[in-house]
Amino acid sequence: MALIDFQTALGRLVRVPDDKNPLRGLNLDTGERLYIEALKENAGFRFSVSIQRSWSIGRAAKSAHLTLSILPDNERRRLLDEWINSGAGTQSFYHAEADSFLDFIMGRLINPSHAHTVCQLEQATLRSSNGTNYFAAPDLFRLNSLECLLGRGRYAGLVRFYAEPGRLLDSLQKHEPIPPLSPEVMTMLFAPGLDQLFRPASIDEVNLWDRLDTPVAVGALLGEGHQQETFEILLNVGAVEYTT
């Protein structure tokens, strides 16, 4: 059996044991196919799969620790299972998958909810702290071009709190009941160029952030009433970036 075919078959089976067709595209004869099929019943194979699964769950859990801690046990388990069953959680550098895992969780949480807020917070913190290694304030001169496209900063985030943030985080840390959802929203901006990586966002900044869910030209934004000064402030801290 060619090494690459054997490794591909074994690797697929360990990554996703429920793979319906793990031998697709492989150059295996009947005997080799039977061998691979039989391997699935081997106790050592099953143990290796259980280690892989346990490590993958551990890596995923570390990458979304705070968010998972706020969820009920059964929901936490369901999300982790769904994520791992898709073949994720395998990256040794688990931070590389953390952003996608938080996206995956966020898409499955009720919005608004404290769980959704904590997920936003964890992702914004991850992005902005990561961004401190790479972010440099851009040249504002490009704003003079009305065709210039602006988008959300790749290392930035906006977090909407439906309770006083300190109180919410304190109750999570102390495993105390979390406060009820408040109709008043407090919005925090996270970006790599900010002192301590975050500060409260102004209404103008929130409006611009919400508008930039896809890139928009400077001319169009000005036409809608957004302010040049807001662009400059947010570009300087990495909350907004040029997308062309």
Partner 1 sequence: MNGNLTQPLGIGFPYIATLPADLYRPGLIDFVEITPETICRQRGTGTTAEIEIIPSQMNLARQTCGGLPIVVHGVELSIGSAHNWNDAYLKMLDEFQASWSFVWHSEHLGFQTIAGDDNSTLEIGVPLPLPATKEAIEVVASRSAAILERYRVPFLLENPAHYFSDFPSDPEIGGDIGLMRGVTEKSGCHILLDLHNLHCNAVNHGFDPFMAIDRMPLSRVMEIHIAGGSWRDGFWMDAHDGRVPGRVWELLEYALPLTPNTAGVVFELLDEHAVRLGAKAIEEELRRAREIWNLHWSN
Q: Is residue 2 close enough to count as binding partner 1 by CB under 8 A? A: yes
Pick from 203, 126, 200: nearest CA to 165 = 200
> Judged by CB, which is closer to partner 1: 14, or 186?
14
In angstroms, the Cα distances linking 167 to 1, 18, 161, 164, 178 are 61, 43, 11, 5, 8
> Judged by CB, which is closer to partner 1: 60, or 212?
60
b/e per residue, 226-238, with b = 16+ CB within 10 A?
A: beeebbebbbebb
Q: Is residue 125 close enough to count as binding partner 1 by CB under 8 A? A: no
Q: What residues from 21 to 60 belong to the interface with partner 1 (CB under 8 A)?
A: 24-25, 35, 38-39, 42-45, 47-48, 50-52, 55-56, 59
Residues in contact with partner 1, shown as a per-residue x/- string from 87 to 106 under the rule CB under 8 A: x-xxxxx-xxx---------
Residues in contact with partner 1, shown as a per-residue x/- string from 57 to 76 under the rule CB under 8 A: --x-----------------
Which residues fall within 8 angstroms of residue 244, CB to CB, at 6 or more apart?
148, 149, 215
DSSP 194: S
* Displacement of CA 238 from its chain's centroid (Å): 18
Q: Is residue 1 close enough to count as binding partner 1 by CB under 8 A? A: yes
CB of residue 115 vs partner 1: minimum separation in angstroms? 26
CB of residue 37 vs partner 1: minimum separation in angstroms? 13
Q: Is residue 187 close enough to count as binding partner 1 by CB under 8 A? A: no
Q: For residue 109, count other CB atoms closer than 10 A to its CB.
A: 20
